[in-house]
Structure 1
């Protein structure tokens, strides 16, 4: 106020001077002079005030008052500001600035201002004017799925009670628009509205409405290149793996623009040039042209540079391996077109842990600390001379090896699969193999197994190895359903895949069952209108705990009821029972390599028939015994996840054999076969007689008695041999896109042709391989696109082959849910003898499906298959069939 009075007084004096001038000067001159003088004086005084204000003046603080909209007490605010009555401060000065900053940093107030209320001498009274920041009461988010709302709240800290500042509004808006634009929603608009909450509560509160309009992802209409003459636009666009222009025929890659993928693909363009010898290629500029709200065009300007070739390549510092040995790994010769990408992969290929490169050659033989650096020493005349400088370092040894994360699985189950041991020379191949073996156990999430290198010591040549694992559900409740033979088939099973039988009598071990020793225990019940089956199995993968020798045993019982073609129901007075027991051993081999397993098993089944007359079994009342020996050789090196392998193969060949009883049991099977053929002909011919004689009727009745007796003698002890082969291969095409070719073959034969091929153990082709409504020792083979068991004769086939090609793509491989989609083409056929065998005459099908594996539910799958050929006895193609499986895991 004092300052204003001084200005007024000086302006009055100035007015007197102007009036005096008016008496002696002309009017126009007077006006010009007076205006100039007034402006000069005003500027002079304002500048003087500003200088005085900026330099500040010391005052004693008097009264401090608080005004504005706040629920906090006056004394609380004053205390928090750090200002106090009687304190000497500079106005303006750092004390006022500090007070404003403290109040602002509390994040409780907004619109903070401090005024001089009055000045009396050297005493200044202040007024603090502020208002409380409103708290967030309710938040409503529009424009996104409910599943995405929680992440928006977490990322932007929009919890109830947070102070709603202008900064919060601005950062939230910018964050969301940037986030969605990076995902390809270039037209994203975010609007934030706040509404004051008026109620009895004194606290200032607001409801916030967050409106997100992502719009549609912008598609790429075209991608053009400028400056390219060596590589065409088409080749360069092909090198961009994730950024594609609109093409209605493309299914796997979409044309939507995503900035992060685009930036990565620009690097792919340069890599493409490096692969073709153009080391100096670079992107001069790139432009994004907005065509409309739905499409954009991308323009990329290039500078290709010159073509380079490799010159001399010398190895420096190598003592462990000779130049010749390293050149065999490098596989690049003088005069080859320069390929920087290939050079890097031949030295160290990060995409393949087991790649055939120089780095792995060193690391598989202990040289963990080796360093290999390619250096260009000259590039004269576009010929690049290289030095590959190698620092070998000391061989590294494992100091300690540990496992973390196994809460259920006992340590010894894991350590026996580990290929790295304390004191052992370091080998990267052994580390990679260990990760595979732990993933194949099925007890851990294969995607989460992590080999951690701790405490590397290049001086002493030691390393600590730690394998971090994450337990997953390894026991199952199996709930499976399917349709077959005109009825629903249900399966209920308990499968404990990490069982511990030694703890079966320990009460504290039931959580919910004794677990941790890697054993498998399974109980299974399967039933339909036509049969019931019960089975129990147990296996110990390391018999005795010292060798990878698996012991397994199983017991099963099946009751099969005859199908009544009149009522279309099961006739439970006529049954076929199978009771069996099996003991097996499987040993992991070391030759040719330790991916091979030799398995052997002895099994016994007893078949009891109770008035069970069919075309397959001519003896309706009787029994058969099946004592057999099975030997198999398999090799499995699939990587890494057993649910979704991305590489390797799995094949196996088995032979199931019985004792050749006909060599020593004294039965004349030639005569027996003749008697059977004669009896069979009499029965067949009798049906064509219009008025049979008594002799013919008597012969018919005798044949009816003889035929079951003869077959009972033939099949009292089953005699056969059976060969099966199955092979699966996995090849990673692009990233996680996996191609899986498969081939299967089966043959059932007889030692003695007079005795014939048995009516059991036959192949029934078609469907999902699950829906068997008849369990007479048959083997169900899946062939999608056709009904279950529809592609074999009524009595089954003795030969079959099947070929399939499946393309898989993962939607997610997270531990919570592993989901992948697939498409397939396959073909197969069933035959009765080698005279009919034609591996190229197949029933063909194609289709698509999906697989979902979740710890809470196990494996769920559904396939839609289209059969291109007609069923046996029909003329039109079969068309579409649906196949599904359901499982549950805990």
Structure 2
């Protein structure tokens, strides 16, 4: 006697239908199993007598055998089925059904059959017959370029050895069709065939063939509206951001049809009406018409409805804030045109975490559990009366505040930046500010910082919060290169931005360096044919560990060689050596707000000249000392990611001052100036003897050595950057910037020093000299081409940059940009004209990789002539940027 319990009945039409259902979903598979048991009951008979459930009987399993085309061991299959020798089961019953379901859920088999091979008294002997799902052997893709095939295989996980299921085939087909529809191939078709591989290997295998026919890209010839009288077709089409009709002048948005984007754009059309008081506006119908030229036309019928205005707006349930106060935040008055979208934004703007709205007013003051619901209570005569119903709830306090994901950075470094403390009143603004501060550290991926609100308890008024961070590379191998200052400039250095100096003597801390305390340590070697610079710097952001007071120090040495105009090579026997040391403190302020930082520094530089005669100053052998004090006030509230800010601003004003030696050193600089001018006339007087001219030159050198023995100057600079998303949540960021600098003298008779000057033009690299000079980027012009050879004492610059991210992943952040900028430099205020600018425009790209810093390239086109080179035909400049900050 052989009894069959079969999940697949090849010769039964009902069985075939069940199998078809099973290929569609798990629910259908479940139904299939149930129906299979019914089929078993109807076919189960002993000696011609039909056995019903009422006639079921308990049996003890005698033995279980496994047969069929499978690579799994008999023991594995039997164990996984839940059946075992000696187990008591009911036949017919649920035991075998459950075993079948369990095997089927493993998604490893294409066919499962259970047989009762014999019955001896109360003992039943079972056989499980099954077939493995076939494995993918080879895949062939037709209809696409070879460069696209690997992407299709990876996106759909079609690697060799993958189990080939109906679900895999269906998902692959749907994925490809949707992918091509998004690209505008509305009529794309995908056919997938599998071919069984017959060889000596027992494992079931198939080859897969993907035939892809993308068809032609469907373009939208025109979009027309009917039923619209308030807004013309042009204005409604403008609201459709992703669905555009053919316009050969438009570059950024193509006229391809994507159904999902089209549906979203239809909603945007209705939003246009609702924003202007037509709250009942709706789409009556929309039609897609296929034209003879293989384009499509879209016909959209709208019902605009009537114009509504706001009536009385009443607040209900508010006890913490008065009606007058909430009305000032809402900023909507009786008689205003009805705008449901604006109303929702003023109540709770989900697109801006720091928006000025009623919900944030409550949440910034502890009312985490508050709810605010606007309700229309009347719409008579097209005037809508509103009730804003508020449930304030209890104030919430932070219970547990934790951090996770900081595998390298020590907890205290993170916790000192967190603005939410246990026992503190809940504040959404403090949560948002914490995310910003953690992102600004540079130790974590700013895009991945997430505040996880846990265990909210409205009854007790408590909530837990866990800040989830993801570590990113904070140390850099600095490779910087570019042309400037007469040749190629290269930098090699190590920058450790999360250093731990207290662990420097601990052998176990070198992984590969001591890390985790948020300190910065940098070692740099910078060189070209004409100079060499060595520098060391160290900074501690929290001096003493209790307050955000940053201590910084640096030590550097530079050797510059004189340029030989005849050989166009450096003269190594004539050098200019600069040694400097700087100590600084920067303190975060609380007034006017805690985005402000006050920084101060004292620096000393020693300038030694060895037969270094240039037009910069007249003496070639001697020295100068520069003891200066720098004070700066800055404010930085840029949003989260320091590499790609999407909002906020960053400005800094600094003043660098020397001691006014001329007030107390007793030297008559006016007399020295007059004597110098007299000797200058002698050097230019051709009637004077050569001896007299040389004597005059020597005296000028002596006077200048006296003037520059201790440098006397003041230097003021300002720089401001603003960031704003052009479209909310679009990551299309506009960055306007302005810069200004001025170098002056306390005593006009002593004059402006030949150091600390501004050099405008080019890529902004070349800050190799430690004589205080500043190289100012102005793309489209050669390096330092917009200043005199000795630099300028005044400059200003304006720029406008539009940025868009290609990727903001932690491994590599890439964004493209386009820019407009203009600037100029001057030597005195008599010539200064802030509107007489050298202008340029261009495009570029930036790549930030944690290990190497910022890489970039800009292509700039200048609109004005280079000073001293009128009519130059070369209008484009290429600027390579390696290592320059943002």
Partner of 1:710: 703
Quickly say closer, same or farther: Cα 1:373–1:870, change in 2 above 3 A.
same
Distance (whole Å) between structure 2 residues aligned to residue 824 and residue 172 of structure 1: 42
Q: Per-residue deviation at 1:888?
A: 11
Q: Structure 1 stretch 451-460 or stretch 202-211: which is displaced more?
A: 202-211
Correspondence for 2:869: 874
Is residue 2:719 matched to residue 1:726?
yes
Does residue 472 (structure 1) correspond to residue 459 (structure 2)? The answer is: no
The match for 2:859 is: 864
Deviates more, 1:169-178 or 1:391-400: 169-178
CA distance in 2, matches of 1:717, 1:326: 62
Residue 808 of structure 1: aligned partner = 803
Change (3 A) 1:761 1:384: same
Q: Following the alignment from structure 1 to structure 2, what is the Cα–Cα distance between the partners of residues 330 and 722?
A: 47
Does the 8 A contact of 1:800 with 1:828 survive in 2? yes
Query: Residue deviations 1:456-493, cap 9 Å, x none?
Result: 11111111121111111111111011112442111111
Give 2:265's aligned residue. 265
Q: Deviations over 1:665-688 (max 9, x none)?
A: 1111111111111111111223xx
Indicate how the Cα distance of structure 1 residues 325 and 69 shifts in structure 2: closer, same or farther if over 3 A, else same: closer
Stretches of structure 2 lacking an aligned partner (at least 5 in a row): 1-38, 50-64, 84-89, 116-126
1:7 aligned partner = none
Q: Which moved more, 1:483-492 or 1:128-137?
A: 128-137
- Per-residue deviation, residues 487-511 of structure 1 (Å, max 9, x unmatched): 2111111111111111111111111
Check whether the contact 2:533–2:768 (CA below 8 A) recurs between aligned residues: no
Cα pair 1:676 1:707 within 8 Å, conserved: yes
Q: For 1:265 and 1:349, how far apart are their aligned partners in 2?
A: 21
For residues 473 and 128 of structure 1, what CA distance do their matches in structure 2 show? 55
CA distance in 1, matches of 2:322, 2:204: 79
Counterpart contact for 2:816–2:846, Cα < 8 Å: yes
Provide, for residues 562-615 of structure 1, a one-character-per-residue CA deviation record: whole Å limited to 9, x for no partner. 000000000010000110000111111111111111111110000000000011
Q: Does the C-alpha gap of structure 1 residues 371 and 54 become closer, same or farther in structure 2, counting only changes over 3 Å? A: closer
Taking the aligned partners of 2:816 and 2:193, their CA distance within structure 1 comes to: 42
Map of 1:354-365 to 2, 5 A cutoff?
A: 354-365=354-365
- Alignment RMSD: 3.6
**Kept after mapping to 2: 8 A contact 1:218/1:293:** no
Match of 1:825 among 820, 826, 829: 820
Q: Residues 446-461 of structure 1: matches in 2 within 5 Å?
A: 446-461=446-461
What is the alpha-carbon distance in structure 2 between the residues aligned to residue 532 and residue 144 of structure 1?
54
| Whole-angstrom CA distance in 2 between matches of 1:398 and 1:175 | 45
Separation of aligned partners in 2, 1:792 and 1:157: 59
> Does the 8 A contact of 2:846 with 2:857 survive in 1?
yes
- Is residue 883 of structure 1 aligned with residue 876 of structure 2? no
Whether 1:332 aligns to 2:332 is yes
Shift of 1:225: 1.8
For the pair 1:840 / 2:840, whether they are aligned, the reply is: no
Query: CA shift at 1:184, angstroms?
Result: 3.3
Q: Secondary structure at the match of 1:287?
A: strand
Note the alpha carbon deviations across 1:756-781, whole angstroms, 9 max, x for none: 11111111110011035766442111
Deviation at 1:871, TM superposition (A): 1.0
- Alignment of 1:738 with 2:733, yes or no, is yes
CA–CA separation in structure 1 for the residues paired with 2:517 and 2:741: 35
Aligned equivalent of 1:417:
417
Sort the Cα spacing of 1:257 and 1:818 in 2 relative to 1 into closer, same or farther, 3 A.
Answer: farther
Partner of 1:778: 773
Aligned residue in 1 for 2:211? 211
State the shift of 1:139 in Å: 2.4
Per the alignment, in what secondary structure is the counterpart of residue 860 of structure 2?
strand
Gaps of 5+ in 1: 1-51, 83-88, 116-126, 687-691
1: distance between equivalents of 2:351 and 2:109? 54
Q: Deviations over 1:198-233 (max 9, x none)?
A: 433244432222233435543322222222221221
- The 1-side partners of 2:98 and 2:400 are apart by 56
Instruction: Rate the CA distance shift 1:146–1:726 in 2: closer, same or farther, 3 A.
Output: farther
Residues 332-411 of structure 1 mapped to structure 2, 5 A cutoff: 332-411=332-411
Q: What residue number does 2:22 align with?
A: none
Measure how far apart 1:259 and its partner are.
2.5
Larger radius of gyration: 1
Q: What's the CA shift string for 1:263-287, capped at 9, x where partnerless?
A: 2222211111110111111122223
Q: 2:742 aligns with which of 723, 741, 747?
A: 747
CA contact (8 A) 2:552 2:584 kept: yes
Native 8 Å contact 2:443 2:498 kept in 1: yes
Aligned partners of 1:632 and 1:653 also within 8 Å: yes
CA apart distance, 1:304: 1.4
TM-superposed CA distance for 1:57, in Å, is: 8.2
- State the SS of the aligned residue for 2:689: helix
Tell me: CA distance 1:112–1:311, structure 2 relative to 1, closer, same or farther (3 Å): same
For 2:828, what is the secondary structure of its paired residue?
A: coil
Deviation, structure 1 residue 290: 3.2
Partner SS, residue 709 of structure 1: helix
Report what 1:275 is aligned to.
275
Tell me the CA shift for residue 151 of structure 1. Answer: 6.8
The 1:156/1:481 distance shift into structure 2, 3 A limit, reads closer
Equivalent pair of 2:533/2:559 in contact (CA under 8 Å): yes
CA distance in 2, matches of 1:554, 1:481: 22
Deviations along 1:43-86, one digit per CA (max 9) or x if unpaired, are: xxxxxxxxx99986834499xxx9x996899x99x99999xxxx
- Is 1:490 the equivalent of 2:490? yes
Judged with a 3 Å threshold, the aligned counterparts in structure 2 of structure 1 residues 423 and 109 are, in CA distance, closer, same or farther, namely closer
Summarize the Cα distance change of 1:888–1:855 in structure 2 as closer, same or farther, 3 Å threshold: farther
How far 1:251 sits from its partner (Å)? Answer: 3.2
8 A contact 1:530–1:773 mirrored in 2: no
Matched residue of 2:792: which SS? coil
> Post-superposition shift, 1:857?
3.6
Match of 2:60 in 1: none
- CA displacement, residues 600-648 of structure 1 (integer Å, 9 cap, x when unaligned): 1110000000000011121000000000011111111111210011111
Q: Secondary structure at the match of 2:608?
A: strand
Quick check: 1:608–1:622 contact (8 Å CA) kept in 2? Answer: yes
Deviation at 1:753, TM superposition (A): 0.8
Paired residue for 1:555?
555
**Whole-angstrom distance in 2 between the partners of 1:300 and 1:390:** 39
Measured against aligned partners, the alpha-carbon deviations of 1:809-836 in whole angstroms (never above 9, x if no partner) come to 1112222221111111111111011111
SS in 2 for 1:543: coil
Which secondary structure state, in structure 2, belongs to the residue aligned with residue 706 of structure 1?
helix
Deviation at 1:293, TM superposition (A): 8.5
In structure 2, relative to structure 1, the CA distance for the partners of 1:841 and 1:306 (3 Å cut) is same
* Secondary structure of 1:786's aligned partner: coil
Q: Say which of 747, 752, 763 aligns to 1:768.
A: 763
Distance 2:843 2:558 in 1: 34
Deviations 1:431-458 (A, max 9, x none): 1111111111111111111111111111
CA contact (8 A) 1:400 1:464 kept: yes
Are the equivalent residues in 2 in contact too, given 1:721–1:750 (CA < 8 A)?
yes
- Cα pair distance change 1:217/1:815, threshold 3 Å: farther
The question of whether the paired residues in 1 share the 8 Å contact of 2:634 and 2:651 is answered with: yes
Alignment partners' CA distance in 2, 1:798 and 1:888: 24
1:542 aligns to what?
A: 542
Q: How does 1:180-191 map to 2 (within 5 A)?
A: 180-191=180-191
SS in 1 for 2:326: helix
Would you say the 8 A contact 1:860–1:885 is kept in 2? yes
Following the alignment from structure 1 to structure 2, what is the Cα–Cα distance between the partners of residues 99 and 606? 87
CA contact (8 A) 2:763 2:880 kept: yes
CA contact (8 A) 1:404 1:466 kept: yes
1:847, distance to aligned residue in structure 2 (A)? 0.5
Distance change (3 Å), C-alpha of 1:825 and 1:98: closer
What does residue 34 of structure 2 align with? none
1:349 aligned counterpart, secondary structure: coil
CA gap of 1:494–1:363, structure 2 versus 1, over 3 A, is: same
Structure 1 CA distance for aligned equivalents of residues 197 and 668 of structure 2: 102
Quote the Cα distance in structure 2 between the aligned partners of 1:97 and 1:292. 58
Written as runs of structure 1 = structure 2, the 5 A alignment for 1:102-113 is: none
Match of 2:607 in 1: 607
